[in-house]
């Protein structure tokens, strides 16, 4: 977030959860990425009094009717496990032909700068691509080892540099859309 926002909002300091007094994070039980991002940003603002930015993201696979979707991080159950999630995805798609393995990563980023609905906004970014048949790469996290973005054919998102991934990723796209809105809101 700091890398991407710095270009549009110079001088902004991004604080993480480790930089504020600990609080109980809300349960992510909304049915949409936007809803979960807003839950977390509202909680951040309520607990700290600071403008709060939060995201929710995941992988939506066409052949699985959009699953794992908002359940991406915990699709294979608790405790969260990227390895189990990736194996479940491969198992679910084992007999799906390559031309039907499309999907996209989705990221919704919510900002809450005050206590009313007028103090909230949400942006959304998507990275289209396809799920491959084997794990490749050691960068990124989650499903990156199984996903080839349309804008980077032949490489999984786990094989991209941070700069390459920032340029095409769902999170990068959402944050670049967010940056001018945030700059305007924060003055």
| Tokens matching residue 166 | 């920032």
* Positions at the binding site: 56-57, 141-144, 165, 170-171
Structure pTM? 0.92
Binding site members for substrate? 57, 141-144, 165, 170-171
When pLDDT is averaged across residues 1-6 and rounded to a whole number, the result is 73
Is residue 56 part of the annotated active site? The answer reads yes
CA distances from 131 to 37, 95, 101, 125 (A): 25, 13, 6, 18
The 3-state DSSP composition of the chain as helix, strand, coil percent (nearest 5) reads 40, 20, 40
Q: Which residue has the higher pLDDT, 10 or 114?
A: 114
Catalytic residue among 24, 29, 55, 56: 56
pLDDT tens, position by position, 80-99: 999 999 999 999 999 999 99
Annotated binding site for Mg(2+), which residues?
A: 56
The domain ranges of the chain are 2-186
State yes or no: pLDDT of 8 exceeds 90: no
Q: Please tell me the distance from the alpha carbon of residue 159 to that of residue 119, in angstroms, as a whole number.
A: 38
| pLDDT of res. 116 | 84
Relative to beta strand 102-112, strand 52-61 is antiparallel
As a whole-number percent, the residues of the chain with pLDDT over 70 amount to: 99
Q: Which residues of 140-159 are buried (b: 16+ CB within 10 A; e: fewer)?
A: bebbbbbbbbeebeeebbbb
For 48-104, the three-class secondary structure string (H helix, E strand, C coil) is HCCCEEEEEEEEEEHHHCCCEHHHHHHCCCCCCCHHHHHHHHHHHCCCCCHHHCEEE
**Is 80 exceeded by the pLDDT of residue 11?**
no
| Per-residue confidence (pLDDT) for residue 3, from 0 to 100 | 74
Other CB atoms within 10 A of residue 73 CB = 19
pLDDT digits over 131-180, tens only? 999 999 998 899 999 999 999 999 999 999 999 999 999 999 999 899 88
| Chain segment 34-82, per-residue pLDDT in tens | 999 999 999 999 999 999 999 999 999 999 999 999 999 999 999 999 9
The chain-wide mean pLDDT, for the chain, equals 93
Which CATH code is given to the segment(s) 2-186?
3.90.950.10
């Amino acid at each position: 977030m700091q890398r991407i926002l710095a270009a549009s909002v110079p001088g902004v300091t991004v604080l993480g959860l480790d930089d504020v007094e600990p609080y109980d994070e809300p349960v992510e039980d909304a049915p949409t990425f936007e809803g979960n991002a807003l839950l977390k940003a509202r909680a951040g603002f309520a607990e700290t009094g600071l403008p709060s930015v939060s995201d929710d993201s995941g992988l939506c696979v066409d052949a699985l009717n959009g699953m794992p979707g908002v359940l991406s991080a915990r699709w294979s159950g608790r405790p969260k496990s990227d390895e189990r999630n990736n194996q479940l995805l491969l198992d679910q798609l084992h007999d799906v032909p390559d031309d039907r393995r499309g999907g996209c990563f989705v990221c919704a980023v919510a900002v809450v700068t005050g206590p009313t609905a007028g103090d909230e906004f949400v942006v959304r970014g998507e990275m289209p691509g396809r799920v491959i048949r084997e794990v490749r790469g050691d960068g990124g996290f989650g499903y990156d080892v199984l996903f080839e973005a349309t804008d980077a054919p032949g490489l999984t998102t786990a094989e991209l540099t941070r700069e390459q991934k920032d340029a095409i990723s769902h999170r990068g796209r959402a944050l670049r859309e967010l940056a001018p809105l945030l700059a305007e809101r924060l003055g």
